[in-house]
Copies of this chain bind each other. A is one copy, B any other.
Amino acid sequence: QEIKVKWYDKITLGGYMQARNNDLYKTNPNMENPQGDRTYGGYSGFSLRRMRLKVSGQVHKRVYFYFQADFASDGKNLGQLRDAYFDYFIDEAGAFKLRGGQSKIPFGFENLQSSQNRIGLDRNDPLNSAVKDERDLNIGIHWAPVEKRALLKEIVNKGFKGTGDYGMAYIMMYNGQKANTLIPNVDKLNHIAFRFTYPIKLPSGQFIEAAVQGYTGKYVTTEVNDAVKLRDDNGNTTDIDAVNQQFRDQRLAVSFLYYPQPFGVQLEYNFGQGPEYKYDPTNVPSPHSIGVESLHGGYIQLMYMKRIKQQILTPFTRFMYYDGGKKFEQDARSYEVKELEIGAEWQINKAIEFTANYTIANRRYEDSFKPINREKGQLIRLQLQINY
């Protein structure tokens, strides 16, 4: 006999909002960061970076469901899908879970960590350039002993900025193109991703987590200017258009976390290969090409977490470096990024957080429209976050 459960005891509604202003001090409005925040440079004014609505719940003892939409998307604040996935508990305890739908690709700690929990305003360029919006349509299996799943939840519940439970081991097949688009009918294999993370709690109460992760596949370039040609593996520009071509796309990353009690360290590093734009003015007829190049980069973040009654103040600093292409941007845009951030997050209560951050950056980003383009600058960034 089934007992009739009320819908609201099965399903939970919630979300969060991030409102920003980057205009207080900005030495170079031309220094843009489209992957991170459109008002970093290029656009101005108060902005909504995220307006999330989540519906989730254990809809059956064996089935968990998660839906999330963002109402600050598509340049017009339209509601766009972020997550729509289920977990099917293969065993009763849920050590093994089959996950499918649109969900996060397990490549990188910070990519898996919710923006609601992240201390910095934007994800780091080096690892976040692996997957557009961190998500894709996929099917996979993640595993962890029940006590490790509990530990992953405990980290978040205690107010530390963990990833939540993606298991200790995760293997997944996914489209490997951009989320929220139609996938062109090209004869290619799907992407494969894997991740292994090991979280522990020391007798002192300290949480430590170390992870290794990677993916491999072929990426099909779709947003490419007509003048851009395919560059072959020997570095020679062919006369083949680079649009709708397949490129090797693979990365490997390591992550290390020492959660702040009160002092913490977070670092990640990745390297691999992927499509990247190159400008060669000596090349005739076209100076513009896309070919497979090496990429690498990472970041280190130091933080200090101070609890003052219900408030939490967390000063932090982060340095990041990235050298490589961003496959899902125009012409697989070529990047070299150095960025230093110094800031603090002030959690006033569970519902409201304020973050201020001083950013010093040196960003080279080049495509066929701007083949020589390096911007340097400094800015102050402010964010208010509401959790509901």
Seen from chain A, the residues whose Cβ lies within 8 Å of a Cβ on chain B are: 6-8, 10-15, 17, 19, 29, 38-39, 41-48, 51, 53, 55, 57, 59-60, 62-63, 65, 67, 69, 71-81, 84, 86, 88, 100-102, 137-139, 174-175, 177, 179-186, 190, 348-352, 384, 386-388
Query: What would be 10 A-B contacts, judged by CB atoms less than 8 Å apart?
Result: A8-B8, A11-B14, A43-B183, A44-B185, A45-B137, A46-B174, A51-B67, A75-B181, A76-B180, A100-B384
Q: Known contacts being A43-B182, A81-B71, A101-B17, is A352 close to B63, with CB within 8 Å? A: yes
Contact B13 A44, beta carbon cutoff 8 Å: no
A181 CA to B13 CA, complexed, in Å: 27
Contact B137 A184, beta carbon cutoff 8 Å: no
Contact A186 B77, beta carbon cutoff 8 Å: no
A86 CA to B18 CA, complexed, in Å: 11
* Interface majority SS (helix, strand, loop, mixed), chain A: strand
Instruction: Determine how close the nearest CB of chain B comes to the CB of A85; give it in whole angstroms.
Output: 8
Q: Known contacts being A46-B174, A48-B81, is A181 close to B387, with CB within 8 Å? A: no
Pick from B60, B69, B350: contact of A352, CB under 8 Å: B60
Q: Known contacts being A45-B137, A62-B349, A351-B63, is A181 close to B76, with CB within 8 Å? A: yes
Pick from B7, B13, B72, B74: contact of A78, CB under 8 Å: B74
* Known A59-B387, A62-B352, A76-B80; 11 more pairs at CB < 8 Å: A7-B13, A15-B67, A19-B84, A43-B183, A46-B137, A47-B183, A62-B351, A65-B386, A71-B79, A73-B78, A78-B78
Chain B residues within 8 Å of A81, by CB: 48, 51, 71-72, 77-79
Chain B residues within 8 Å of A100, by CB: 19, 384
Chain B residues within 8 Å of A42, by CB: 185
- Protomer copies: 3
Q: Known contacts being A46-B139, A55-B388, is A79 close to B69, with CB within 8 Å? A: yes
Chain B residues within 8 Å of A78, by CB: 73-74, 78-81
A282 CA to B284 CA, complexed, in Å: 47
The residue on B at minimum CB distance from A384 is B100
Contact A186 B44, beta carbon cutoff 8 Å: yes
Chain B residues within 8 Å of A8, by CB: 6-8, 13
Contact A182 B65, beta carbon cutoff 8 Å: no
Chain B residues within 8 Å of A76, by CB: 74, 80, 180-181
Chain B residues within 8 Å of A180, by CB: 76-77
The residue on B at minimum CB distance from A179 is B77
The residue on B at minimum CB distance from A350 is B60
Instruction: Determine how close the nearest CB of chain B comes to the CB of A2; give it in whole angstroms.
Output: 8
A59 CA to B139 CA, complexed, in Å: 35
